A = this chain, B = another copy of it.
Amino acid sequence: MARPKQQDARREELLRAARAVILRRGLHATRVRDVADQAGVATGTVTYYFRELDDLFDLVFAEAVERFCTLREQDAASRPDAREQLVSLIRTGLPTGPDDELCCLLYEFSPQARRQPTDARLRRELYGRQVDLYIRVLGAGAQAGRFTLRRPAAEIAANLVALEDAYGYHVIAQTFMTRETAEQHLFGYAALATGDSTLTV
């Protein structure tokens, strides 16, 4: 009983270290040595736990996906009605700013998907769970008479997630848009698609 726990703790530690290095240096510039230094262990230790560094990266990504989705699910669940839930989803879907660690992490892994099957799978999961969330909330709002959906729920949900994705990237890369503008645009679309004009920032 004792050993496995200790091992898991060490794995957690390396995962934390990898996360920190990825955020600081970028996924592609992250070396075994960096992770080892960050965790305060020998490079051999990292190799001992993760024969392939990519296995560790997969774990970091999986954990980030899980955390991001759970956060949103829980925050939405804590809201009283569909409108509030939709507002919650839009708000938690965008990075708080260029330094939002969880979102930065997720973006580090985006470009991997084209070449790494594990990443593609996780990305699909990430996307799927978010679309499902939106679909559920849109359905509930329509049911309750609060929303009048102008387009199929699945389309609206997919579009909202896509907007989050694209704007999230701009917020983090500081290429075009601040979180505020992004939020306004998302609310604009939500209002239009649900017929609920009270949906504003």
Contacts and interface: CB of A to CB of B under 8 A. Distances in A.
Interface stretch (A35-43, A60-68, A74-82, A108-116): A108-116
A111 B113 contact: no
B169 A110 contact: yes
A9 interface: no
A199 interface: no
Scoring A28, A113, A127, A158 by chain B CB atoms within 10 A of each residue's CB, the highest score goes to: A158
A127 B174 contact: no
Interface in A96-112: 104, 107-108, 110-111
Contact of A189 (B115, B159, B165, B174): B159
A185 B166 CA distance: 15
What's the number of copies of this chain in the assembled complex? 4
Given A113-B175, A123-B175, A150-B192, A184 B155 contact: yes
A167 interface: yes
Contacts of A151: 188-189, 192
Nearest to A154: B185
Nearest to A25: B115
A49 interface: no
6 contacts: A26-B115, A110-B110, A111-B111, A123-B175, A155-B184, A159-B189
